[in-house]
């Protein structure tokens, strides 16, 4: 059932604390037993046998604890330590993410990129949970961007930063919230050509540091020429 997408490890005690009593009370006895025996739980995107997609919370033994339905296939996830909100990002070149509360206290929110963007499947919250940063492709401009979404206002898109590279993939935010750390894979793609790599001969992977408050470039590190076809992930 579980597809080959990114998985996220969650400490069992943290998961139970975030979920709360109502969520635990609603679990089937088999799922509750699996959670009680687990040292940690994993969240992973999946494709079911009927072709539907979702996020499953499973024990380290592979026992399913809970599922959340998604509109299409997902790739990576991000969870806010401040609020517990989790976001699942569409697999490239998908255009949606779904924000949901694992404890089901709030209805999921599905958001889409602007018309000329798609997600690269990754993102990260600011430490206070107020802003969601998402790696995106400005495919007509042939550049990676970091989309900014207001997590306290229905995940409204409030702007973007230039990622100073193409093929913007995984990313993170420093613990103090001041830096965005970006892995630019260097591979050009365009949804008109599916997942075809369009610039293998000239690709330029890089690691970029941005000021999280302004989007200003702080540092950019590229691979040496002999390693430039090793896409940064």
Number of other residues whose CB lies within 10 A of the CB of residue 57: 24
The secondary structure element, H or E, covering residue 197 is none
Number of other residues whose CB lies within 10 A of the CB of residue 36: 11
Answer yes or no: are the C-beta atoms of 113 and 155 closer than 8 Å.
no
Q: Report DSSP letters for 108-127, one per residue.
A: -EEEE--TTEEEEEEEEE-T
Q: State pLDDT tens for residues 194-228.
A: 888 888 888 999 999 999 999 999 999 998 888 88
In the prediction, which pLDDT does 1 show?
A: 43
How many residues in the chain? 233
DSSP reduced 3-state for 12? helix
Higher-pLDDT residue of 167, 6 = 167
Answer yes or no: are the C-beta atoms of 181 and 171 closer than 8 Å.
yes
Q: State pLDDT tens for residues 4-53.
A: 455 555 555 566 555 555 555 555 566 554 565 656 677 778 888 898 89
DSSP E strand boundaries for the chain: 2-11, 40-47, 53-59, 64-70, 74-79, 86-90, 96-100, 109-112, 117-125, 131-138, 143-150, 156-162, 168-173, 179-184, 206-211, 217-222
User: Cα(60)–Cα(63) distance, rounded to whole angstroms?
Assistant: 7
User: Cα(44)–Cα(7) distance, rounded to whole angstroms?
Assistant: 5
What domains can you pick out in the chain, each with its CATH number? 1-70 (no CATH), 72-233 (2.130.10.10)
pTM comes to: 0.83
Select from 135, 130, 125, 127 the least CA-distant residue to 86: 125
User: Cα(105)–Cα(162) distance, rounded to whole angstroms?
Assistant: 35
Residue 169: pLDDT band (50, 70, 90) is very high
143 beta partners: 138
């Amino acid at each position: 059932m579980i597809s080959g997408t990114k998985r996220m490890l969650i400490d069992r005690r943290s998961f139970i604390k975030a979920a709360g009593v109502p969520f635990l009370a609603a679990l089937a006895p088999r799922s509750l037993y699996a959670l009680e025996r687990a040292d940690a739980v994993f969240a992973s995107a999946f494709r079911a046998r009927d072709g539907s997609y979702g996020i499953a919370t499973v024990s380290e033994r592979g026992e399913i604890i809970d599922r959340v339905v998604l509109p299409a296939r997902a790739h990576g996830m991000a969870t806010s330590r401040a609020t517990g909100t989790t976001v699942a990002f569409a697999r490239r070149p998908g255009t949606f993410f779904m924000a949901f509360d694992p404890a089901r206290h709030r209805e999921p929110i599905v958001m889409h990129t602007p018309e000329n963007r798609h997600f690269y499947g990754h993102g990260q919250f600011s430490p206070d949970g107020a802003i969601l940063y998402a790696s995106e492709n400005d495919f007509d401009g042939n550049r990676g961007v970091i989309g900014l979404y207001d997590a306290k206002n229905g995940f409204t898109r409030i702007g973007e930063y230039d990622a100073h590279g193409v093929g913007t993939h995984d990313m993170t935010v420093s613990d103090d919230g001041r830096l965005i750390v970006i892995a630019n894979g260097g591979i050009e793609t365009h949804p008109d050509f599916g997942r075809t790599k369009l610039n293998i001969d000239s690709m330029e992977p890089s690691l970029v540091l941005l000021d999280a408050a302004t989007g200003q470039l702080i540092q950019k590190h590229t691979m040496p020429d002999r390693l430039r076809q090793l896409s940064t992930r």
